[in-house]
């Protein structure tokens, strides 16, 4: 398996623009996590899905952030409108079940100027 | 809610020194515990895990023991190498299904 695949690897956008990050989990995994990593706050859990259903989105910073998982093989994290403070590395991870370890993608480095 | 606390870094050691990175947790029930490692520019990789009390996880010379009585999962290695330089994250998977990470500890090993 190719592992968790995220795209794009790097994104530079202007403040106010919409940004969409994409994730393809490992086939057969039924839990999916979105994290944000910054120097100041470390690794923050934004939202996680189980069987394509959002279970906990309490980490989503504000209404500008939204996440979807339309099917078992694809998820998106959207920021609209983007702001410079959203600049971070965003990771997607998937796991086989709610009790198994998670496998991470390579991350998307987002820069909002 | 569930939480993980790691010792602050950076930790700087000479090659072949003994490593300990402390990790304590707060959780309801009986979480699974993990150590992940992140090399520069990469995602997190699972290093080792333990799923119940007194379990010892081990991999690549690293070890950690799940201590329920002290709610700890300290990472140890007897002899570190330059290639071990990375950021190490302690994490727990609680009964809510949330995977929670500590703040990470940067390890730098000098030749």
Query: pLDDT tens across B16-56, in order?
Result: 999 999 999 999 888 999 999 999 888 899 999 999 999 99
Cβ separation of A98 and B93 shorter than 8 Å? yes
Name chain A contacts of B99, Cβ cutoff 8 Å: 33, 45, 48, 93, 95, 102
CB A54 within 8 A of CB A71: no
Q: Confirm if A102 and A1 have CB atoms less than 8 A apart.
A: no
How far B13 CA sits from the closest chain A CA (Å)? 22
**Maximum C-alpha span of chain B:** 43
Nearest Cβ partner for A48 among B42, B98, B104: B98
Residue range A61-90, pLDDT digits in tens: 889 999 999 999 999 999 999 999 999 999
pLDDT value at residue A90:
98
Q: B42, B24, B25, B44: which is closest to B94 by C-alpha?
A: B25
Place of tokens 């923050």: A44
Beta carbons of A111 and A11 less than 8 angstroms apart? yes
- Judge whether residue A99 has pLDDT over 70: no
Average pLDDT, whole number, for chain B? 94
Between A107 and A96, the higher pLDDT residue:
A107
Rounded percentage of chain A residues whose pLDDT exceeds 90: 88
List CB contacts (< 8 A) between B30 and chain A.
Answer: none
Highest mean pLDDT: which range of A96-105, B68-77, B94-103: B68-77
Instruction: Indicate if the pLDDT at residue A98 is higher than 70.
Output: no
């Amino acid at each position: 398996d190719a592992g968790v695949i995220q795209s794009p690897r790097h994104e530079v956008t202007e403040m106010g623009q919409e940004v969409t990050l994409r994730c393809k989990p490992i086939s057969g995994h039924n839990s999916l996590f979105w994290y944000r990593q910054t120097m100041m706050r470390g690794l923050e859990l934004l939202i996680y899905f189980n069987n394509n259903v959002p279970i906990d989105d309490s980490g989503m910073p504000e209404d500008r952030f939204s996440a979807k998982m339309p099917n078992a093989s694809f998820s998106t994290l959207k920021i609209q409108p983007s702001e410079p403070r959203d600049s971070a590395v965003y990771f997607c991870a998937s796991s086989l079940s709610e009790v198994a370890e998670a496998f991470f993608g390579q991350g998307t480095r987002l820069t909002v100027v | 809610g569930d939480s993980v606390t790691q010792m602050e870094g950076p930790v700087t050691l000479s090659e072949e020194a003994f490593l300990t990175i402390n990790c304590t947790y707060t959780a309801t029930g009986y979480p699974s515990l993990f150590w992940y490692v992140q090399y520069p520019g990469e995602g997190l990789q699972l290093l080792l895990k333990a799923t119940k009390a007194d379990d010892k996880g081990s991999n690549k010379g690293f070890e950690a023991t799940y201590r329920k009585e002290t709610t700890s999962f300290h990472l140890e290695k007897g002899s570190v190498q330059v290639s071990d330089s990375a950021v190490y994250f302690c994490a727990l998977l609680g009964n809510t299904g949330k995977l929670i990470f500590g703040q990470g500890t940067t390890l730098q090993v000098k030749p």
